[in-house]
Amino acid sequence: MKAKQEFKVVPRFPERLLPLKKMAYNIMFSWTSEIRDIFQRVDPKLWTESNHNPVKLMSHVDQKRLDELANDLGFVSELEEANHRFDMYMNAPPLDSGKTCVAYFSAEFGLTTCLPIYSGGLGILAGDHLKSASDLNIPLVGVGLLYQTGYFQQYLNNDGWQMENYVPNDYDAMPVTQVLDKDGNQVKVYVRFKDRSCAVAVWRIMAGRIPLYVLDTDLGENPPDLRGTTSALYGGDKENRIRQEIVLGIGGLRALKAMGITPTVIHMNEGHSAFSALERINTLRQDHGLTFDAAKELVQASTIFTTHTPVPAGNDTFAPDLARGYFEDYAKELGISWPVLLGYGRVNPRDDSEPFGVTPLSLRLSAHANGVSKLHGLVSRHMWQAIWPRTPVEDTPIDSVTNGIHVSTWASREISRLYTRYLGQDWKEDPDPFHIWKHVNQIPLSELWRAHCHCRERLVAFSRRAFMKQLKRQGAPADLVQGAMEILSPDTLTIGFARRFATYKRATLLFSDPDRLAKILNDPQRPVQIIIAGKAHPADNDGKAFIKSIIHFSREERFHNRILFLENYNIHLASLLSAGCDVWLNNPRRPLEACGTSGMKALANGVLNLSVLDGWWDEGYGPDYGWAIGNGEVDPNQELQDLTESQALYNLLEHQVVPKFYGRTSDGIPVDWCEMMRNSIRDLMPRFSSHRMVKDYYDRFYTKSSDRWHSLSAQGFQAATEQAAWCNKLRTSWNDIAVTELKSDASGHEKLVGQSLLISATVKLGGLIPDDVTVEAYYGTMDHQGEFADRETLTLRPVKECGQGAFLYEGNISCVKTGRFGFTARVMPSREKLGNPLSLGLVAWA
C-alpha cells in the first residue's frame, strides 16, 4: 500500500551551524580540505557511510550531535573561519567585465563521488573544467543531464566476470537543488520526440562559483518510455541515445533561455551536445526573424567543439531513417530541407548510405574545433580531413588544447599541505601556473618522500578493507577473508593501473610473459606489487574478458599478495590510487589514447609515469620525469607491437624503475627517485593543470568567439545578415578564382641566408574584390618526394589591379636557414571577416 501523502523529518539546525547547510550544497567541498574536514568532524562514521555526501550527512546526523557541536567553541570557530573564506571566494568579482557568457555542454560531469553522473575520463575532464573556471572566476555555466541511476556500480562474480548494478539516485539527499521560477515552481522546458512532447525539469549543482544546470525527464507527466530517457548514462539503444542528445542540446538551450541566460559562446564537449548548435539557430530565427544562413553564421562564429576520441566507434552516428523521424519537422523550423540538414551530419553530404553523425555536424557548425592533445589534434585532422576536401591534412581546421587536471581536487591532503607551505596560500587560484610551480624546488626531498609514504600507507589500508568486502560478498572462506588484511605491503614498490577497460588500453599487456612478471614481483630484496581497477562498458565483452583474465592471474599462487583488482572504480578510489602508487602505468595502443588524464592526477602527487608515448605523455615525457615504453612507433602488426612493447616494459621495470626505487641513502630515502618526483611536479604540473587548459580556451577561443557574437548581433543582427549574404556571394563566385601566375625574384632559384624572397602572385578574383579574400604564400622545407615537410604561411598584400578582375599580390619570405624550400600560393575567404577562414571549405591553390 502506498502512502496518501509524504513528509520529511529533518534535524533542527542551531543558528551557529547554519553555514553547514549552505556549504553542503556546493561541491567546493570536493577540492577544499578545510570544508571537507568540518563535515567529517560532524560524524566521521556517517561521513564515510554517506559516500562523502554532506547533504545526506546533514539530513541523517543525530540531533544530539548537532547540539553538542553548537556548544563546541573550537568547532564553531573553525566553521566560522571556513564560512568566511567560502563567502570571500564566492563573492570575488568575475574575471570578465560581463561581455562573455560561456555555456559548457557535456553529457557527463565527474565532480565528486556522491554525484554519480559520470563514467570516466570525459566526465572527470568536464568536472575539472568547471572547477578551474570557478577558481579563475571565468563567466561560465555548465549544462548536462541528471541520470536517475547514473553509470553502473561494478562488482565481480566468483569467476571474475564483471556484473553491473544500477542504483537509483536519491536527489533529495544529494547536493543538487531544483531551479524554481518566480512562482516557486520547478523550471520545466519541453522537447519533441517525433510526434510526442517530453517535459524536462531543470536542476542546479553549484561547483564553486559555477552553476551546472542538469536536465531530468523522470517526471510523472511523461509516458514511461520517455520518462526513462535520462535513466542511465550511456544506457539503452540508439533511439534512447538520440533522445538523450536532444534533451542535452535542444533542451539545454531552452533551459538557459527559460532562466534568462543568453550565452555568447557555446562550448560543446564532445558530439553528444551537437544539437545545441541547431537550437541556437532555431532560437535566433524564432526570436529575431533571421534566415537560416544569417543565424548559422552567428552560431558558427561563437561555437567551440572539442572532440575526445580517435576511435571511430566513439563518435555517435544515427541511421538516416532514425534521424529523419526526430528531425524532419525540426528542419522545417530551421528553414531548410531534411536532406540539407542530413548533409550537415555527413562527411560526404552526397553519400546517401552514410549515417547522420554528430561529429561532422559539430565540426561544420563550429568556428573553433580541437583535439585534447597535440597528437590527438594530428590524428583528428587525419580522421576528419574529408569534410574539407580542398584542404591539406595539416591545414584541416582542428586545433588542439591539451587537457589538464584540477590539481587541488587530485593532490592528496599531504601533498597539498606541502604545496601550501612552499608555494603559498593562494596556489590553488593563481591564474599563472608557470609562476607558481617553479617554487616546488623549495620542497625538501625528505618531506616529499614522507608525504608520499603516508599516501601509500593509506592506499594499502583502504585496499585491504575493500578486498575483504569483495571476498565477503563473494562468500569466500573465512581464512581467505581474514587474509585480506595482510595483502600488499606499505613499503613495497606499488604500480597502479586504473582506467576504462577498453581493449585498446591493453590492460593485459603487463601479463604477456607471466613467468618474467612473477620474477619481477617476487624479488625478495626488491619486491613489486600491482593494484588494478577499472570498468568495462556493459556491452564490451572483450573488455570484461580482460578483467576476468587479470582476476585469474591474481589468484595464482605466484601472484598471491602481489596483484590486486579493486571493484567499482570511482573518483574516491582514483584519488587514493593516483596518490598512493609509486608508478602510474599506461600502455594504450598508440595513437588511440586521446589524452589520458589519469597520469596527470598521479603527477599532481609526484607519482612517476611509465607510459607509451601517446596522448599527453607524448608531450610531457622526459628522462627526468618518468619512463617511455617504446619510441612512439605504430606497427600495423598489432601482435608484434604488443610483444615488442611488453618486452620493453619488462626491461624498464627490471633495469631502471625497480633499481631506482630501491636505491636508498643511509636515512632510507631514494634521493634519485625523489628528484624525479620533484622535477616532474615542477616542470609538468603547470603544463598539465586544468587552470592552464581553461585559460587556453578563454584566451584563444572564448573571448574571440564572444567578440564575434557581439559584433554580428549588433544593430538588430544586421552584421549577421550581411555576413550570410557575403558567404553566399563567396560560394557562388569561388569557382571563378584562379592564381594565374606565381613568381619569385630568386636568380637561379637560390637565395643567401639572411636575404628575403619576393613572392608575387597574380590572382583572378572574378566577381570578388581583395577585401573578400586572403591570399597567402604557403612555404616550407621539402622532403625527398617534393612534399612539404613543414609549412608556414605569409599573407600577401594586393599591390595593383591588373584588369579583368585580376590583382597582383606580393610579399617577402625571410630566408633564415639553409635547406631545400618550396612555395605555392592559396586563396581563402578573408581572415578579417571570418573567425576561421577554412570553415567554409573554400580554398583555391596556385
With helix as H, strand as E and coil as C, how does 171-217 read? HHHCCCEECECCCCCECEEEEEECCEEEEEEEEEEEECCEEEEEEEC
Could you tell me the sign of the dihedral formed by the alpha carbons of 541, 475, 155, 576, in that order? Answer: negative
DSSP symbol at 26: B
How far is CA 451 from each of CA 64, 330, 414, 454, rounded to the nearest angstrom?
A: 37, 58, 5, 5
The predicted structure's pLDDT at residue 749: 75
Pairwise CA distance, residues 508 & 517, whole Å: 12
Residue 757: phi and psi, rounded to 5, are -105, 120
Q: Does this model's pTM top 0.85?
A: yes
Nine-digit cell string for 245: 542528445
Helix (H, G, I), strand (E, B) or coil at 285: helix
Pairing of strands 806-814, 797-803: antiparallel
Please give the pLDDT value at position 49. Answer: 92
Q: Which three cell numbers stand for residue 453?
A: 609514504
According to the model, what pLDDT value does residue 789 have? 83
Residues 6 or more apart whose Cβ sits within 8 Å of residue 317: 355, 356, 357, 358
As a whole number of angstroms, the distance between CA 639 and CA 651 comes to 19
Beta bridge partners of 210: 207
Q: Using alpha carbons only, what angle is made at residue 342 by residues 339 and 346, rounded to the nearest 5 degrees? A: 130
CA 825 to chain centre: 37
Is residue 760 exposed (0-12), middle (13-18) or buried (19+ Cβ within 10 Å)? middle
* Other Cβ atoms within 10 Å of 220 Cβ, number: 6
- 721-727 long-range contacts (CB < 8 A, ≥24 apart) are 721/290, 721/291, 721/294, 723/294, 723/297, 723/298, 723/833, 724/291, 724/293, 724/294, 724/296, 724/297, 725/293, 726/772, 726/833, 727/293, 727/297, 727/829, 727/840
pLDDT at 453: 97
Cell numbers describing residue 612: 607509451
* Distances in whole angstroms, Cα of residue 789 to Cα of each of 340, 777, 784, 785, 820: 38, 16, 9, 10, 10
Burial degree of 474 (CB within 10 A; 0-12, 13-18, 19+):
middle
Residue with cell 562564429: 301
In the chain, the amino acid numbered 28 is M
Nearest to 404 by CA among 569, 116, 619: 619
Residues 418, 410 contacting (CB under 8 angstroms): no
72, with CB counted inside 10 A (0-12, 13-18, 19+), is: middle
Q: Which string of b and e fits 123-161 if b means at least 16 CB within 10 Å?
A: bbbbbbbbbbbbbbbbbbbbbbbbbbbbbbbbebeeebe
Q: Cite the DSSP H helix spans in 13-53.
A: 18-24, 33-42, 44-49
Say if residues 90 and 209 touch (Cβ distance below 8 Å): yes
Q: Please identify every stretch of the chain with a pLDDT value under 70, giving residue numbers as ranges.
A: 97, 747-748
Beta-bridge mates of residue 792:
779
pLDDT value at residue 430: 75
